[in-house]
Amino acid sequence: MTVTSAETVITATRARTAAGSAAVRRKQGFQHGAWFVAPFLVLFALFVIWPLLRGLYLSFTDANISGDATSFIGLDNYSEALDDPLVWESLGHSAYFTLLVVPCITVLAFLLAMLAHHIERGKWLWRLCFFAPFLLPSTVAANLWQWLFNPGTGMINHVFGIETAWLTDKSYAMLAVVICTLWWTVGFSFLLYLAALQGIPAHLYEAAKLDGANAWHRMVHITLPMLRHITGLVIALQILASLQVFDQAVVMMDFLPGPEGSTRTFVQYTLEEGFTSYRVGYASAISIIFFVIIAAVALARMWLLRNREEGGR
Amino acid sequence: MGRPGLNRRQLLTGLSGLTVAGSLGFAALGTGADALASGANTRVAYWNLFSGGDGYNMIAMLDAFRKANPGIDVKDSTLQWGSPFYTKLAMAAAGNRAPDLGVMHLGRVTGFSPGRLLDPWDVGLLAKYGVREADFNPELWKRALVDGKLYALPLDIHVQLCFYRKDVLKKAGLLGDDGRIVPVTSVDEWFDVLKEAKKATRKGLQTIGMWSSDQNFQWWFFVAFYTQLGGTWFDDADAEVTFDTDKAVQVLDFLRRHITDGYVDPGFAGGAGAEQFVNGGPFVWEGNWSVPVFDSAKLDYGATPLPPVFGEQATHAESHAFVLPHQADRGGAANEGAHQLAAYIVQHARQWAAGGHIPAYTPTLSTAAYKKLNPQSEYVSAMDHQATEPKVWFAGSTGILAQRVGPIVVSSTMGSARPDAAARRMKSTLTELLAMKNPMDGRTAAQGGAAA
């Protein structure tokens, strides 16, 4: 054995030892970490995974609310759902709501964030005003807007001098729910935009100014591109949340599906089938269908984003 | 000997364990502690759905019962009205955690799986506490029977009424010498009355509030007027739909005409009707539970059953009834207590009548105390001409039938569907429902026989 080879062996041994102790540390780290995530995993398995599997099983049965006299009926619930006009109608209402809310909330949140970011006096007041409604429970927000939309004594008709039957005319009912939702939830997206705006380095604007860029150029070439990721996030979160719209619509319509069923959303229909009609098997089947739709939307969004990023590289 | 083996972590573990065990222990103690505290021998758990004025009245009646029966402790719980109540009751009965006594709408009893989710009343035990079949309107009693057994003990009937402002009608010359509204016996007479009343109505107010966009109320009104025309729903075997679309069109046209002739402002389509009435509108069609509201507003008003515009008297009626949610081991003192409590409240329903309801226990109706109640005594005749939903598993207050057919009536009243198209849709919906299997037992209405 030469000296050189001996040194090599020693170096290699040291490296192995170091690697070994790192592995031991990683293992220990994993064990400690596992204890920290265990409560979450247990709850997740108990309240998400297990109900999901149980719901999947029930969707192939004619289970009722009392849980007995259940028999396996294969895909009958699914084929019934495809022929059920109320499934399509309520899905349409959820989609319509989403189409109205998502663009409005994205633009509104951006504009409010710009305002709160640039305004100098009373900055805190603006931020509080825009964000505060988000802190209200949905029932409070919905009740508030129910009063505001009241045809006889409500403020909206009074201020605008109109006589619109907001909550009882089927052409306006969903619009009323959308307006309430915008006011109530815009604060969350507003906060995301505001944080992102504050994260844009000031020197970019200074350099652009020196190069003679006006406010419009700075907005189009710096602000909007720098907010691209946040905009993507806001849109994705809003789509997923809006598709699942339920509580504010139900409370505003006094627990009914709105004038001529015009605000019956998919979640509400699932609830009606499961807990009013007692058809738990059928309700499970349509909620599984809804789960697949939402998962598809989320996956499509991930796929689109990945492609766009790869294309940009 | 070393130090006791207790480090900080073990101490924390021990303390948290104690806290959890303690709270579970207290929770378990809770139910027993109530009974112990009252010193009562028997404890009756009772679930009801009465809020607002009805809630106060029910609590007052329970307090009176407690005072009269110190040996029985009543543990009452008031739950949210409508579907949530029925869901909880069904799940509690299915899971063998049912209360000893519950309240339901009579129309829902048939669909609530009598025999599985509901236990029958012991008629002998009820008689022991003073309640007999002879004391009830026969139609009402019949609705409470399933397969010959009594599954519901009626407490009241509540009806849809035509409330009128005496001050406005007097100005319009529409009050008779007895201080009540002039009798109306046809559609034309009714619209003549509205025409005159409108002339005497202050600007900005509608002539009549009739919940034109509410699926429950519109359905109830439809049931009333369709019954006035002698309309039927299904044949005796519940195998064929006998719904008469021509009669339905007459009713739908009638309801719609209130809007097209300008007596109902579609802008005030929902609950604003009562508000307008309080502010001086001459008419509102409302449930009798609005009596306390109009009483407290100190209005000079009267109330009759819905006008018999199609000849026959009939107004929509539902009924609150006591039920025994299914318990695997029903019997013993708590069960007897439930019978005693229900019998007591049914017999002492004078207090209940203050809320506008018509007591089901007929001896109450002939008492001087009841006859003095106004306007209750003006519409007590509604007991004899009740228009009710068909006795099938999917019917009853806020049930599947109302949920499916109500919006169709609204679409016609509000003008987004023509009455003839709406009537055809109603018929096809009724056909679908009749073919539908009751999720509780997998049988259609026809296969369900008397239990439907």
Range of A16-20, A217-221, B21-25 with top mean pLDDT: A217-221
Instruction: Report yes or no: B127 and B134 within 8 Å, Cβ to Cβ.
Output: no
Which of A277, A279, A284 to mutate against chain B (most B CBs within 10 Å)? A277
Chain B residue with minimal CA distance to A279? B439
Q: What is the pLDDT of residue B31?
A: 45
The arithmetic mean of pLDDT across residues B406-420, rounded, is 95
> What is the least distance, in Å, from the CA of A9 to any CA of chain B?
45
Contacts of range B150-153, beta carbons closer than 8 Å, 24 or more positions apart:
B150/B120, B150/B121, B150/B123, B151/B109, B151/B114, B151/B118, B151/B120, B151/B121, B151/B323, B152/B104, B152/B106, B152/B109, B152/B121, B152/B321, B152/B322, B152/B323, B153/B121, B153/B126, B153/B321, B153/B322, B153/B323, B153/B342, B153/B343, B153/B346
**Chain B residues contacting A, CB < 8 Å?**
82-84, 86-87, 90-91, 93-95, 113, 116-117, 212-216, 266-270, 272, 275-276, 398-400, 403, 407, 410-411, 414, 416, 437, 439-442
pLDDT exceeds cutoff 50 at A62: yes
Contact residues, chain A, for B429 at CB < 8 Å: none
pLDDT exceeds cutoff 90 at A139: yes
Q: What is the pLDDT of residue B33?
A: 43
- B7 pLDDT tier (thresholds 50, 70, 90): low
User: What single-letter DSSP state applies at residue B73?
Assistant: E
A276 to chain B, any CB pair closer than 8 A? The answer is yes
Q: What is the pLDDT of residue B275?
A: 87
Q: What is the pLDDT of residue A26?
A: 73
Q: Mean of the per-residue pLDDT values for chain A? A: 89
Range of A158-167, B345-354, B435-444 with top mean pLDDT: B345-354
Please give the structure tokens belonging to residue B2.
């070393």
Q: Cα-Cα-Cα-Cα dihedral of A228, A233, A239, A241, to 10°?
A: -150
SS (H, E, C) chain A: CCHHHHHHHHHHHHHHHHHHHHHHHHHHHHHHHHHHHHHHHHHHHHHHHHHHHHHHHHCCECCCCCCCCCCECCCHHHHHHHHCHHHHHHHHHHHHHHHHHHHHHHHHHHHHHHHHHHCCCCHHHHHHHHHHHHHCCHHHHHHHHHHHCCCCCCHHHHHHCCCCCCCCCCCCHHHHHHHHHHHHHHHHHHHHHHHHHHCCCHHHHHHHHHCCCCHHHHHHHHHHHHCHHHHHHHHHHHHHHHHCCCHHHHHHCCCCCCHHHCCCCHHHHHHHHHHHCCCHHHHHHHHHHHHHHHHHHHHHHHHHHHHHHHHHC
Query: Residue B72: which of B253, B340, B302, B447 has the closest Cα?
Result: B340
Q: What is the pLDDT of residue B2?
A: 39
Please give the structure tokens belonging to residue B409.
């009536």
> A24-38, A188-202, B100-114, B200-214 — which is least confidently predicted?
A24-38
Please give the structure tokens belonging to residue B256.
């719609």
Q: What is the pLDDT of residue A7?
A: 64
Q: Mean of the per-residue pLDDT values for chain B? A: 90
CB atoms within 10 A of CB B278: 18
Query: Residue B163: which of B220, B198, B207, B229 has the closest Cα?
Result: B207
The arithmetic mean of pLDDT across residues A278-290, rounded, is 95
Sequence length of chain A is: 313
> What is the least distance, in Å, from the CA of B117 to any CA of chain A?
8
- A28 pLDDT tier (thresholds 50, 70, 90): confident
Note the pLDDT tens digit of each residue in B143-160.
999 999 999 999 999 999
A62 to chain B, any CB pair closer than 8 A? The answer is yes
- A230 pLDDT tier (thresholds 50, 70, 90): very high
A12 vs A111, residue with greater confidence: A111
Q: What angle do CA B203, B205, B210 make, to 5 degrees?
A: 155
Q: Look-up: residue for tokens 């150029």?
A: A217
The arithmetic mean of pLDDT across residues B274-303, rounded, is 94
pLDDT exceeds cutoff 90 at A152: no
Q: What is the pLDDT of residue B4?
A: 43
Q: What is the pLDDT of residue B161?
A: 97
Which residues neighbour B113 within 8 Å (Cβ) at sequence distance 6 or greater? A66, B90, B438, B440, B441
Chain A residue with minimal CA distance to B267? A165
Note the pLDDT tens digit of each residue in B81-111.
877 898 899 989 988 899 999 999 999 999 8
Range of A92-96, B82-86, B369-373 with top mean pLDDT: A92-96
Inter-chain contact A66–B411, Cβ cutoff 8 Å?
no
Chain A residue with minimal CA distance to B112? A278
The arithmetic mean of pLDDT across residues B263-269, rounded, is 86
The arithmetic mean of pLDDT across residues A245-270, rounded, is 93
Separation of CA A14 from chain center: 51
Query: Residue B258: which of B290, B281, B233 has the closest Cα?
Result: B281
Rounded Cα–Cα distance for residues A138 and A241 (Å)? 13
Which residues neighbour B184 within 8 Å (Cβ) at sequence distance 6 or greater? B190, B193, B307, B308, B309
Chain A residue with minimal CA distance to B268? A151
Note the pLDDT tens digit of each residue in A234-244.
999 999 999 99
Q: What angle do CA A187, A189, A190 make, to 5 degrees?
A: 60
Strands B149-150 and B156-165: unpaired
> What is the least distance, in Å, from the CA of A6 to any CA of chain B?
49
Phi, psi of B346, rounded to the nearest 5 degrees: -60, -40
Q: What is the pLDDT of residue B267?
A: 80
Note the pLDDT tens digit of each residue in B108-136.
999 888 888 999 999 999 999 999 999 99
Please give the structure tokens belonging to residue B438.
């009751």
Inter-chain contact B82–A164, Cβ cutoff 8 Å?
no
Q: What is the pLDDT of residue B30?
A: 42
The residue type at A33 = G
Q: What is the pLDDT of residue B13?
A: 54
Note the pLDDT tens digit of each residue in B392-401.
999 998 889 9
* Cβ–Cβ pairs < 8 A, chains A and B: 94
ipTM topping 0.90? no
Chain A residue with minimal CA distance to B429? A85
SS (H, E, C) B314-360: CEEEECEEEEEECCCCCCHHHHHHHHHHHHHHHHCCHHHHCCCCEEC
Q: Which residues of B347-371 are buried (b: 16+ CB within 10 A; e: fewer)?
A: bbbbbbbbbbbbbbbeebbeeeebe
3-state secondary structure of B170: helix
The residue type at A110 = F
Chain A residue with minimal CA distance to B95? A66
Inter-chain contact A275–B270, Cβ cutoff 8 Å?
no
3-state secondary structure of B64: helix
The arithmetic mean of pLDDT across residues A269-291, rounded, is 93
- A1 pLDDT tier (thresholds 50, 70, 90): very low
Facing residues of B161 across strands?
Answer: B286, B305
Q: What is the pLDDT of residue A164?
A: 87
pLDDT exceeds cutoff 50 at B28: no
Rounded Cα–Cα distance for residues B245 and B250 (Å)? 9
Inter-chain contact B94–A65, Cβ cutoff 8 Å?
yes
Inter-chain contact A278–B399, Cβ cutoff 8 Å?
no
The residue type at A83 = D
Instruction: Report yes or no: A60 and A46 within 8 Å, Cβ to Cβ.
Output: no
Q: What is the pLDDT of residue B427?
A: 98
Strands B145-146 and B149-150: antiparallel
pLDDT exceeds cutoff 70 at A12: no
The arithmetic mean of pLDDT across residues A19-28, rounded, is 70
> What is the least distance, in Å, from the CA of B403 to any CA of chain A?
9
A198 to chain B, any CB pair closer than 8 A? The answer is no
